[in-house]
Amino acid sequence: MYLSLQKKEKKLAVIGLGYVGLPIALEFAKHFSVIGFDINQKRIDMMRNKKDPSNELESDAFDGCDISFTADLDELKQANFFIVAVPTPVDKYNVPDLTPLEKASETIGKVLKKGDYVVYESTTYPGCTEDDCLPILESISGLKLGDFKLGYSPERINPGDKVHTLSNVVKVVSGSDKEALDVIAQVYETVVKAGVHRASCIKVAEASKIVENTQRDLNIALMNELSIIFDKIGINTFEVLEAAGTKWNFLKFQPGLVGGHCIGVDPYYLTYKSSALGYESKVISASRFINDDMAKYVARKIITHVLRNSNEPKVLVKGLTFKENVSDIRNSKIVETVKELIAFNIKVDLEDPYAEAEEVLEEYGLQLSEKTNKKYDAVIITVPHKPYTELSQKDFEDITHPHALIADLKGIFKNKIPTRKYWSL
C-alpha cells in the first residue's frame, strides 16, 4: 500500500476538511495524490480557490499540492487509504454525539474495497473505532475486517499554533494488526518529521488522546477553583501563580474559560464511557462542573458591579473566539456570560478582530458591533488577541466611566490600569 501511494498508483482521501482535516490533506498532498472530501459544497468551492474556511492557512499552503477537493462520492471511490477527521461534539446534555463519525463511516462503507485502509483521527472514547465505526464499515461495504485494514491516529493540531505543527509533533499511530500498524506508521512518517509512536492497540491510541485533553481540563479546573478562593481572600491569582512558578517543578497552568472543541468536550467522552462500564467518574466530572460554571461566575461578578453603579448599564466584551489569535468561535464559553448579562437587561456590545460577524450571528444569534466608542460600565477582555495586548490605559479610559470595572480574564493588564477598578480570574 505504502509504495503504491508513494508512486501515486493509489490515492489517499481525507474525509472532513476542517481545522484538522485540511492541514493533514495538504501535507499528504505534497507526497501523495490526495482527495479532499467534505459534504459542505461551499467549503469545497473555497478550498478549490485556495482559501481555508477555518482561516488557519494562507493561500500558499495549497501550492505544490496534488489534491482535488470534492463532495462527490464517485470521486471518493478512487481512494484506497481513508483518513477520517470529522468533529466529535457533545449534545446539550454533554452526551457524545457520534453522528458525524457515523455518517463518515457510512460514506466510506459505500466506497470501501478489499485491501483498503481506514484510519480515524477524530477524538473519541476508547473502543469507539472498533465498537461503533467498524460495524458500520462492515455492514455497508459487505466486507469484514481483514478484507480491509483499520487504524486510529489521534489528531494533535493546535489551532493558531505556528510552532507545534503537524510535521514536528510526534504522531501516535495504531492498527488492527501488525501489517496495518506498519503501513499506517510508514504513511504518517512521510509527513511527520518528528516521528511516530506505535501504540500497542487502537484502544490505547484512542485513550492517549482523551487523556491529553482531560489532563489539561483537570489542571485548569484546579486553577479556576483557586481563582475563586483567592478572589474571596482578596489576592490576585496571577500574582500567586507567578510566585509559585519560581519552583522548578511547578506546572504553569492558568485559570480561564474552557471552551473550544477539545478540552471542553473530550472529557465527556471519557465520563460517558466510564458510566457505560458502571463507574461514575468523580475527579473528571468535578473538573467539568467547575470549568463549565466559570462563564456564569464571570457574569455574576460583572452583574454585581454594573447594577450597583448604573441604572442603564452597558458592557463591552472584547473577544468572542475560544482562544487567542484564531477565528474559531465553536463552543466559546464567553457566549454564556453574554447571554447571562442580557438576561439581566444589561446592554452588551461584542467585538472581535478575528471572528466573522456572519458566523457569530448564525451560531449564537448575536451581533458583532461595528462601533464600540460608548462609555461602558464594564469591559471584559476574554482572550489575549494580539491587538488587545497593545491597548493602553488611555484606550480603556476613553471607552469607560470612572467607576467602570475592567474584567481581564487572562491577566493581560495586571497593574497597568490604575485609574479603573480591575479584576481578573
* Pair 372, 314: CB distance under 8 Å: no
Q: How far apart are CA 177 and CA 197, in angstroms?
A: 15
Would you state the cell numbers that stand for residue 77, as one nine-digit string? 471511490
| One-letter identity of residue 403 | H
Residue 133 bears catalytic tag: no
Of 124, 183, 191, which Cα lies nearest the Cα of 151? 183
Residue 13, beta-bridge partner list: 35, 82
Distance CA 1, CA 177 (A): 15
Q: Using alpha carbons only, what angle is made at residue 188 by residues 187 and 191, rounded to the nearest 5 degrees?
A: 105
**How many Å apart are CA 402 and CA 10, to the nearest integer?**
67
Query: Strands 33-37, 347-351: parallel, antiparallel or unpaired by DSSP?
Result: unpaired
DSSP 67: E
Distance separating alpha carbons of residues 352 and 32, to the nearest angstrom: 38
Cell 518528528 belongs to 194
For 328-350, the DSSP string reads: --TT-THHHHHHHHHHTT-EEEE
- Name the residues annotated as catalytic: 262
